[in-house]
Amino acid sequence: MRKKRKKEDATAALARAAKAQAKAQYLLKLYVAGVTPRSSGAIRSITDICETHLQGRYALEIINIYQQPALAAGDQIIAAPTLLKKLPLPLRRLIGDMANQDKILVGLDLRPKP
C-alpha cells in the first residue's frame, strides 16, 4: 500500500510540474551581430519558435552587440547569435545556428532530449 501511495504522489508531482511548465513565462535575449543574413535568420527562427510554442507567455529582447556592447559584456556573450534563456530557470545559452528548431526546443526545455 505504501509503495502505491508513493507512486501516486510522484505521478501527481509530475503532473503539477508539467502544468507549471505549460504556464511558465519565458524571458529570452537574442544577441546578434549587426544586420546580416545570419542575424536576420536567427531573429526569424526564434520569433517563429516563440509564436508557435510560447504564444502569449514570452518576452524576447533582440540585442545588436555592435550597438549595445555593454549589454553583451554584462551577459558574457562571446559569439553571435546567442540566445539566452533567463527565465524560467535554469539559465541556458544557445550559441550558433538558430535554424535547428529541435535543438532550440530542447534547449528551451520545450521538448525532451531525444
pLDDT digits (tens, 9 = 90+) for 9-62: 767 765 665 565 667 899 999 999 999 999 999 999 999 999 999 999 999 999
Q: Does residue 69 lie in a domain region?
A: yes
Mean pLDDT of 3-12: 67
**pTM reported for the whole predicted model:** 0.79
Q: Does residue 3 lie in a domain region?
A: no
> What are the C-alpha distances in Å from 5 to residues 9, 14, 15, 56?
6, 14, 15, 37
Question: pLDDT tens, 63-86?
Answer: 999 999 999 999 999 999 999 999
Going by C-alpha positions, the residue among 71, 97, 69, 73 that lies closest to residue 83 is 97
- List the domain range (segments joined by +) for residue 36: 25-107
Q: Does residue 81 lie in a domain region?
A: yes
Provide the number of structural domains found in the chain: 1
Q: Does residue 18 lie in a domain region?
A: no
At 86 the pLDDT is 96
Q: Does residue 101 lie in a domain region?
A: yes
CATH code for the domain in which residue 48 is found: 3.40.30.10
Cell numbers placing 24: 511558465
Cell numbers placing 41: 535568420
